[in-house]
Amino acid sequence: MVDILFLFSNKNPISVTRTVNNRLNLGDENKVILEVTNETGMPINYTMIEGYPTEMQDRSTVLGGFLSGHSTKEFNYVFQPKKRGEYQFGDVFIIIRSMFFLASKRIELPLKETIHVYPSVLQLKKYELLVFQQQKTSVGIKKIRRLGNNSEFEQIRNYVQGDELKTINWKATSRRNELMVNQYQEEKSQSIYCIIDKSRSMQMEFDGLSMLDYSINSSLVFTNIALKKGDKAGLITYSDKIGTVLPAERSGGQMRRIQNVLYNQQSLFKEANYELLYQTIRRTVKTRSLLVLFTNFETEFAMRRAMPILRRLNKKHILVVVFFQNSELQELAFRPSKTVQEVYQATIAEKLISTKSKIAKELKQNGIQTVLTLPDELSINTINKYLELKAKGAI
């Protein structure tokens, strides 16, 4: 009786606080913190069941321990969402045991909350640092020397040691009786469009993320780099019909608009309508622009069916087709084979990999810029292609 009296004498002997960001990053490890506080002056032995989101599929992890009077203990775990959208954290359940373990008490703490998972902002900041810092070749970002002279006049200034002699303005030099040079700035504000295919070909998953999600994360990273470089960025999504059309702009809120639009994009069980995509681009994109098309071709037939439209787009704009290598097939193809079945599997995998290479080769033969990449290297390879085209003065 004394044991039960001590256990039920305090209505709320323990409190829990959950700390989690309201906006989490897709595919990244997001930290969740639980703080458990003993509100009484007596020690408590407890077991805690967290209201994990259903998508975590975690039913066996139980937290708990011994908590002395008026003390706090902190628990951390990592939540790595694989889909965009809303996630529900549930209530927390606490089971408190009496001093002599003769009774126990169950407490339900109302901690339900909804959090939102957006395309990864962490990757956005990571690649922004890689592109604009000096040491970047070691992590995959190529430093490419700019070719040609694709710049516009900015001002005349005094000569400084190290300036190119060909930039000397002889007329200004004769007037001022000192060396003066022309200063140029790189031409900016070209229009860049990320075009995302939402058809059923983009539903395949690698490491829990679909090709559509990889494309969305990469589009966000690439758009941020383009805006920082001074270009205008826009977005088009499509499947059997056109989804979102966001005209290219360079305004301060463009990045936020693109992120909010990408949050709700979902793949559809439909075939991609390239004819409708061409008509939409022809109607909305008036100036010559860089079009980065995130799609996937599994067969040569699928590529050749879209080829006439891709060639027409490439005549009016600079088209870059980005599609995926199957990382799982590569592991299967290069794994040592010990049985006849494994030999057959490796042979089929090599044939499928070869098909992707043939698709990329045929696109290049038709004058279309091509990026064939593993999902994990999508952002790096897309940025490198953009920097390459900027260096060549193609855009």
Q: By C-alpha distance, which of 317, 327, 308 is closest to 369?
A: 317
Does the pLDDT at position 110 exceed 80?
A: yes
- Tell me whether strands 30-38 and 72-79 are parallel, antiparallel or unpaired: antiparallel
What number of CA atoms fall less than 13 Å from residue 102's CA on the CB side? Answer: 10
Distance CA 26, CA 79 (A): 10
Does the pLDDT at position 314 exceed 90?
A: yes
Distance CA 60, CA 77 (A): 14
pLDDT digits (tens, 9 = 90+) for 328-348: 888 888 888 888 888 888 888
Structure confidence at residue 312 (pLDDT): 95
Distance CA 193, CA 290 (A): 6
Does the pLDDT at position 63 exceed 90?
A: no
Query: In this structure, what is the dihedral angle of CA atoms 372, 375, 376, 377, given to the nearest 10 degrees?
Result: 20
pLDDT digits (tens, 9 = 90+) for 140-177: 666 555 544 445 566 788 888 878 888 889 988 888 88
Q: Where are the beta strands (DSSP E) in the chain?
A: 14-19, 23-25, 30-38, 44-49, 63-67, 72-79, 85-89, 92-97, 104-109, 113-118, 151-158, 180-186, 191-197, 205-206, 209-210, 232-238, 242-249, 290-294, 318-324, 369-373
pLDDT digits (tens, 9 = 90+) for 355-382: 999 999 999 999 999 999 999 899 889 9
Locus of tokens 């395309």: 119
Distance CA 349, CA 332 (A): 7
Q: Percentage of the chain surpassing pLDDT 70? A: 89
Distance CA 303, CA 12 (A): 65
Does the pLDDT at position 139 exceed 60?
A: no
The segment with the largest mean pLDDT, out of 163-167, 205-209, 304-308, is 304-308
Q: What angle do CA 244, 249, 250 make, to 5 degrees?
A: 140
Cα–Cα distance list, 60 to 32, 110, 111 (Å):
17, 21, 19
Distance CA 78, CA 66 (A): 23
What number of CA atoms fall less than 13 Å from residue 156's CA on the CB side? Answer: 11
Element (DSSP H or E) covering residue 125? helix 121-132
Q: By C-alpha distance, which of 243, 241, 253, 236 is closest to 289?
A: 236
Mean pLDDT score across all residues of the chain: 85
Task: End-to-end CA distance of the chain: give it in Å, rounded.
Answer: 82
Structure confidence at residue 265 (pLDDT): 86
Global confidence as pTM: 0.74
* Residue 375 phi, psi (nearest 5): -55, -40
Domains of the chain: 2-117 (2.60.40.10), 121-145+188-392 (3.40.50.410), 155-186 (no CATH)
Please state, as a whole number, how many other Cβ atoms lie within 10 Å of the Cβ of residue 363. 24
Helices vs strands, H then E, count in the chain = 10, 20
Could you tell me which residue, 142 or 92, shows the higher pLDDT?
A: 92
CB-based contact 140:380 (threshold 8 Å): yes
Characterize 52-76 residue by residue with b for buried, 16 or more Cβ atoms within 10 angstroms of its Cβ, and e for exposed. Answer: bbeebeeeeeebbeebeeeeebebe
Structure confidence at residue 362 (pLDDT): 95
